[in-house]
Structure 1
Amino acid sequence: MGSRRDFVHKLTVSAVGLPVLGYSTSLENYLPTFNSAAQLRVAIMGLGGYGTRVANAMESCKRAKLVGVISGTPSKIKTWQSKYGIPEKNCYNYENFDKIKDNPDIDAVYVITPNGLHHDQVIRVARAGKHVICEKPMAINAAEGEEMVKACKDAGVNLLVGYRMHFEPRTLEVVNMRRNGEFGKIMFFQGLSGFTIGNPDQWRLDKKLAGGGAMMDIGIYSINGARYMVGEEPIWVTAQETKNDPVKFKEGVDETIQFQLGFPSGAVASCLSTYAMNYLDRFFLNGKDGFAEMQPSTGYGPIEGRTNKGPLTAPIVTHQTVQMDAMAGIILNGEKPPIPVDGEEGVKDLKIIDAIYEAVKINGRVIL
């Protein structure tokens, strides 16, 4: 397997193009509602595998429309123009995309490029006066993330992060049960996120472009999942790194990290982030009165799981379609998402990642 994109695609049946399947819970509880007929006109920056997945999913969107592209590869731009009907005036490269400032047909840019490029690209988009959606992790550290948040606020534009699981119905089914007290006092969360990475020359194993290794790719799912599943912000972190292949995983590029989080209520989380083991996509939440188990928990779909009350029954959807429609509502109408997806949310994850790396370095506890 070459990347997280390949992993989540192969581990689970792709949900792209799937209709909503049978369920016993009302759709209205999970899918976004729309207050107007306006559409968010989006340009995608970065036309790789995940950018293509988002573009395909957006063909089914009601509130978001793909209208532009930004890429350093002219041949990809031509292919996307033909496939998605994108006019020449909405096509840019990485050198000239600041000119979108003068293009009234683009409302927002979805940045889907290597992590190390997010900071500068997001700030440039904000200064061009366009709303920004940025893939996760939002930056390579919290300091960069905070600069991005400030730049977007100063420009008066929205900064959202591509947390597709925050809109995924079965994830929300578990979160709603926890919020309603159906699991009782939360005691423990486990998050396992990992796959065996392939090509050693890819950007995900380049410290400058990725910002790290598995933690900056697949590991963020367990970090973010711990927060929305437990429903609290952690107050301490401990972590341990294992590196069996220092040739492939060079200095600053983590292969496997186990990390633990402590929460104000006394709940704890035990998580694993790795590029060295396959089939790790599992969440487990334990409370005094019940539990939830999800496997796959963050793949592209379908998400599967059960609680002490039975199987999860919320609808199966195309994650990116629901995400983009919901984000259109946030940007156009100020709608509130079920779980935050703003830049501040992204910074919270980055602070935890910073603390995990520090905990590995000092072999001790880091207070958040």
Structure 2
Amino acid sequence: MNSRRKFLQKVGLSAVALQLASVKTWANGNAAPHDVYDGPVLRVAIMGLGGYGTRVAGAMQYCTKAKLVGAISGTPKKLTNWQDSFAIPAKNCYNYQTFDEVKNNPDIDAIYITTPNALHHDQALRIAKAGKHVICEKPMALNAKQGQEMVDACNKAGVKLLVGYRMHFEPKTLEVIRMRKAGDFGKIRFFQGLCGFNIGDPKQWRLNKELAGGGSLMDIGIYAINGARYMVGEDPIWVTAQETKTDPIRFKEGVDETIQFQFGFPSGAVASCLSTYTMNNLDKFFLDGDRGWAEMLPSTGYGPIKGRTHKGELTQPVTTHQTVQMDEFSEIILNGKQPIVPVDGNEAVRDLKIIDAIYLAVKTGKKVELKLV
């Protein structure tokens, strides 16, 4: 613990200030000094202490408005390690059978679910019943029905439901959105979203339909789906889709390897997207309009995000996405801040409706009409 604290204390103040500066200031390209924060702090427990949960925990060490105070896991050794690594009190640690008891713990405000997709729904309902705010990784659930039940449960309990849409706070992404809103690209005509990588361990939960709910679409494909919506600035009204499977042994029934999908929007704009588990070097967004264009490559990875438009390179600072996200979540939950792009459960349900429609289009070979609201 002492060595970790010393390391954090030695981090340059200018770097910390840059990372935690106002997201809106970044999006406008004018960085400003970061004032010392003296407001309420969101106290968070992380549920699911795997790779991504650990990444969030590390990033939260640099937060000023959110603090990691608890952990939930089915592995006792992980809980012990997290107590040592992140100074988490033993009284704030739970397993999957006991975490309902968090309702009696006033030191935890919110729980961040980073477990496999199939577990999100039931865990979110239990957290809401315990009276704690819910933060959930994406996709929020296995389908829109489950997602709506999560929204309803949180509304009934009077708690917030937020989803880990970290790109909604990323400075270069926000600059493209600002430019689109300002009319810099003119009428939007086309969006392309390519998301994929060559997945590794065949025994991992992402290739288990019971835990993942699908394959590449339920993992990396969510970025192209959500990205199409915030880049174009509209919700699609129809979808078509095609699946390609070259390795049925590795990608068993119900686990998609590669899916191409197309959207149509009310304005007449169209989108062409792809999610895959068998191709590397696919992390690209392209937006085309009558008067200009924007390209992001990489577009959604952990960083650094890079981009350019018809006006030149995007120069907004590189950030640690999870640090900024958690500070922004604190503002939303504790201060009622409205983000530039929504990150709530209703936003996630719209994505889940699109996922449902993509799978239906693959199955039927037909165009599927969409009504997201």
**TM-score band, normalised by the shorter chain?**
over 0.9
Partner of 1:8: none
Within the alignment, does 1:157 sit opposite 2:159 as a pair? yes
Spell out the pairing of 1:41-80 with structure 2 (5 A cutoff). 41-80=43-82
Q: Deviations over 1:92-111 (max 9, x none)?
A: 00000000000000000000
Q: 2:101 aligns with which of 84, 99, 102?
A: 99
Equivalent-residue separation in structure 2 for 1:330 and 1:322 (angstroms): 12
Partner of 1:354: 356
Higher relative contact order (CA 8 A, sep 6+): 1
Equivalent-residue separation in structure 1 for 2:266 and 2:312 (angstroms): 29
Spell out the pairing of 1:214-363 with structure 2 (5 A cutoff). 214-363=216-365
Letter paired with 1:115: N
- Between the aligned residues of both structures, percent identity stands at 69
Equivalent-residue separation in structure 1 for 2:260 and 2:97 (angstroms): 40
Q: 1:335 to 1:35 in 2, by over 3 A?
A: farther
Contact 1:18/1:317 (8 A) holds in 2: no
Equivalent-residue separation in structure 1 for 2:299 and 2:34 (angstroms): 21
Per-residue deviation, 1:257 = 0.3
Gaps of 5+ in 2: 1-13, 20-25
Equivalent-residue separation in structure 2 for 1:171 and 1:314 (angstroms): 9
Equivalent-residue separation in structure 2 for 1:287 and 1:32 (angstroms): 35
Partner of 2:206: 204
Per-residue deviation, 1:27 = 2.9
Contact 1:166/1:338 (8 A) holds in 2: yes
Equivalent-residue separation in structure 2 for 1:305 and 1:123 (angstroms): 39
Contact 1:35/1:333 (8 A) holds in 2: no
Aligned pairs, number: 349
Within the alignment, does 1:144 sit opposite 2:180 as a pair? no
Partner of 2:4: none
Partner of 1:25: 29
Letter paired with 2:191: F
Per-residue deviation, 1:364 = 1.1
TM-score by length of 2: 0.91
Per-residue deviation, 1:198 = 1.1
Contact 1:214/1:255 (8 A) holds in 2: yes
**DSSP 3-state at the match of 2:278:** coil
**DSSP 3-state at the match of 2:56:** helix
Contact 1:101/1:130 (8 A) holds in 2: yes
Alignment RMSD, CA only? 1.7
Q: Deviations over 1:331-363 (max 9, x none)?
A: 001000110000000000000000000000010
Per-residue deviation, 1:36 = 5.7
**DSSP 3-state at the match of 2:239:** strand
Per-residue deviation, 1:26 = 1.2
**DSSP 3-state at the match of 1:198:** coil
**DSSP 3-state at the match of 1:69:** strand
**DSSP 3-state at the match of 1:151:** helix
Q: Which runs of 4+ in 1 moved over 4 A?
A: 31-36
Per-residue deviation, 1:33 = 9.2
Equivalent-residue separation in structure 1 for 2:95 and 2:247 (angstroms): 37
TM-score by length of 1: 0.92
Equivalent-residue separation in structure 2 for 1:246 and 1:119 (angstroms): 29
Equivalent-residue separation in structure 2 for 1:196 and 1:317 (angstroms): 26
Letter paired with 1:25: G
Equivalent-residue separation in structure 2 for 1:157 and 1:33 (angstroms): 29
Equivalent-residue separation in structure 2 for 1:175 and 1:220 (angstroms): 18
Q: Deviations over 1:185-233 (max 9, x none)?
A: 0000000000011111110011110000000000000000000000000
Contact 1:32/1:325 (8 A) holds in 2: no
Contact 1:18/1:318 (8 A) holds in 2: no
Letter paired with 2:183: G
**DSSP 3-state at the match of 2:280:** coil
